[in-house]
Amino acid sequence: MVVWARRRWEGASRRGESGMTAIEFVLLTPVLFFLIFATVQFALYFFADHVAQAAAQAGARKARQEADADPGGWRAKARQTSGEYIEQLGPELILDPDVKLLGPDNNTVGVEIRAQVPSVFPGLDMDVYAISRGPVERFVPDGGG
């Protein structure tokens, strides 16, 4: 194995290729770093998107439960539930969350969340958007018959 490496090095020296490895390293290193940072950036984006979806679904679930029983206070409870999910799952991952409450329109309520994702690349602004809505849950007695 050592003999083979020595012959290759001597052959490269005779052909004038002795610095090719260093040049290849210099050219390929930025590409490798870009690929690593791009992978991290998209992982951050997809995780932030999942956090926003989970927070919107939790807030909408609370809004659906409380809208009929507490017409004046369901908004605060739904907003608080969404905020708690963001704080638990990704407080540094969801930047400046904007939580909007939807409804009640046609007995439907929901939560909409828009937020920014931290950027690995300067100047790259990525936003996540999540929405969840559903019908208000209420007890309807059986009409009997």
Per-residue pLDDT reduced to its tens digit, 120-135: 988 889 999 999 999 9
Rounded Cα distance between 62 and 82, Å, is 9
At 133 the pLDDT is 94
- The share of the chain scoring above pLDDT 90, in percent, equals 58
Report residues of the chain scoring pLDDT below 50: none
> Distance between CA 73 and CA 81 in Å, rounded?
13
Amino acid at residue number 18: S
Closest to 134 measured CA to CA, from 64, 82, 81: 64
